[in-house]
Structure 1
Amino acid sequence: MKLSLQHIAIGCALIFSLQSCSKKDDNKPQTSKKATLSVEFDNIAGDRNLQLGTGTYTNSSGEQLTIQTLKYFISNIKVTNAEGVEYVVPQDSSYFLVDESKPETQECKVQVPEADYKSLTFTIGVDSLRNTMDISKRTGVLDPSGSMDDGMYWGWNSGYIFFKMEGTSPQAPVDPTGANKFRYHIGGFGGYSAPTINNIKTVTLDLSKAGVARVRAGRESNIHLMVDALKMFSGPSTISIAANPQVMFSAFSVNVANNFAGMFRHDHTEN
């Protein structure tokens, strides 16, 4: 049986169409098969490991300080694969409270499709939608009662503290306990019924230079980040303890938030 030119053309078009679909699908994350991706937040101070209560460090203003508390919320994690396709981790599985005093909180694990990922994006803080959701939708680290125990929720302001750093410094004023203490409690999601301070920050890190994350079933890929606490004092603004020993819900808090967005860098990836 002879094939007409029309039949041959139709057959070629069909083959080309199938190949194109196959190639297009290969570029997408394999959403049917997921594996564990770990993001590790390794808190440091300059070129030294952060030691709460005992380490003495010097900030960009030349002020000596000791950090006693360092906590921050990480949320809304998403990754971008080698073809530029993004995968957003389901929001209910994407809220973490990193606490330097609790090593087990410093590795945030999520499930993502198997792929090679070249960038990582996350939010420092808690998004406005979740801030205003019914309490039944705010569980785990977002449980307001639990967050108040951790000192990460303002009951008077009905909002989360995104970032908290406390410590002592000779440049800080003496508090009622007799300690020279500084406090930075930074929050503000933009307001519920009227516009207010918005200190939610989004960070995107390029993983390609220090190792992409090759996520596969049966093994855990770990993106190791260094988080330099001293960069909270420098960046777009210079934060002096002597000039601003206590910053909470005030206009100046925007300067602190702009600085802590620069604390994070990708060090390496373990595959």
Structure 2
Amino acid sequence: MKRFLTFALAAALLTSCSDNDDNQIVTPVTPGDLAITLDTRVGSEDFALNKDFAIGGQTLNFNKFRYWVSNVVLVDTKGSEYVVPQSYYLMEEVGDLDLSGTINDKMTYPANKRETITLKDIPAGEYKTIKFSIGVDSKYNDNLSLKAGELTIANGMSNIAWMWHSSYLFTSVGGTVKKGADSKAFTAETGLNANYKSLSIDLPAPVNSSTSKGVVLNLDVTKVLDGIDVMANPAINAMTAPLMSTISTNYATKAIVFGSEAK
């Protein structure tokens, strides 16, 4: 009888431990929010509107800087990828924009500065790589009636003149350029499916989606315009395809790098 009681007690203890172990394994960890900031720079200086910057022997003064970030993917330390749903974000620093004639007779897009994306409900984990694209993928770029994330034609980031159909502008930067006594207004825009570019940024240390405030990426406008003479080419668009391609490639290969972990 004593042996039976001893055996029964031992079995109960083992069952209890097994149950506790199982509970520890399956207990879910609360998802977190992760912020990605793209800190716009001009070399070592902070980007600002209506301020003179010396770039490549010219003086540039910006009145707008806008671009789409899309299809964000987070890669964890095990190599698993989390595809952020509906991830289309318009990043910008603009004053009031007159959109008259692009959408309806009278419309003003209000001044706005947006450098940070907050990714919501990210599965708990340690993430080592951030992937995303600059522009809008062909599914949505070829059909502006489709909706996803922040995509809309109501913000002036579309063009009905390119390739004889409506499509999104992927990036847009403009202002004035001066060289010596000469001064010109300039606008450099990219778009079209061939210029949809993706990039991958490895972080120096993984970030925890449940505890980290996020990461800061640096975006250098001088590198966006690397190889481009805006004084000689003040209107860059689909009619200047090689220059548009250069800007798109610059975004993907040199303009955006890791800066720091958010504080």
TM-score bin, normalised by smaller chain: 0.7 to 0.9
Q: 1:49 aligns with which of 17, 24, 46?
A: 46
| Alpha-carbon distance in 2 for matches of 1:71, 1:97 | 7
Aligned to 1:251: 241
| Alpha-carbon distance in 2 for matches of 1:31, 1:50 | 42
TM-score by length of 1: 0.72
8 A Cα contact 1:38 1:223, kept in partner: yes
Q: 1:114 aligns with which of 124, 128, 142?
A: 124
Matches within 5 A, 1:40-79: 40-54=37-51, 56-59=52-55, 61-79=56-74
Q: Percent of aligned pairs with the same residue?
A: 25
Matches within 5 A, 1:40-189: 40-54=37-51, 56-59=52-55, 61-90=56-85, 92=86, 94-101=87-94, 102-103=112-113, 105-111=114-120, 112-133=122-143, 135=145, 137-138=146-147, 141-144=150-153, 146-147=154-155, 151-156=156-161, 157-171=165-179, 180-189=184-193
| Alpha-carbon distance in 2 for matches of 1:143, 1:32 | 35
CA drift of 1:142 comes to 1.2
8 A Cα contact 1:232 1:259, kept in partner: yes
By percentage of residues, which structure has more strand? 2
CA drift of 1:85 comes to 1.2
| Alpha-carbon distance in 2 for matches of 1:82, 1:257 | 29
CA drift of 1:232 comes to 1.5
Which has more radius of gyration?
Answer: 2
CA drift of 1:220 comes to 5.4
Runs of 4 or more, structure 1, over 2 Å off, are 30-34, 171-174
8 A Cα contact 1:173 1:245, kept in partner: no
Unpaired runs of at least 5, structure 1: 1-21, 190-197
8 A Cα contact 1:74 1:125, kept in partner: yes
User: Partner letter of residue 52 of structure 1?
Assistant: L
C-alpha root-mean-square deviation of aligned residues, in Å?
2.5
Number of residues of Structure 1 aligned to a counterpart in Structure 2:
215
8 A Cα contact 1:76 1:95, kept in partner: yes
Aligned to 1:214: 208
User: Partner letter of residue 88 of structure 2?
Assistant: Y
Unpaired runs of at least 5, structure 2: 1-21, 95-111
TM-score by length of 2: 0.74
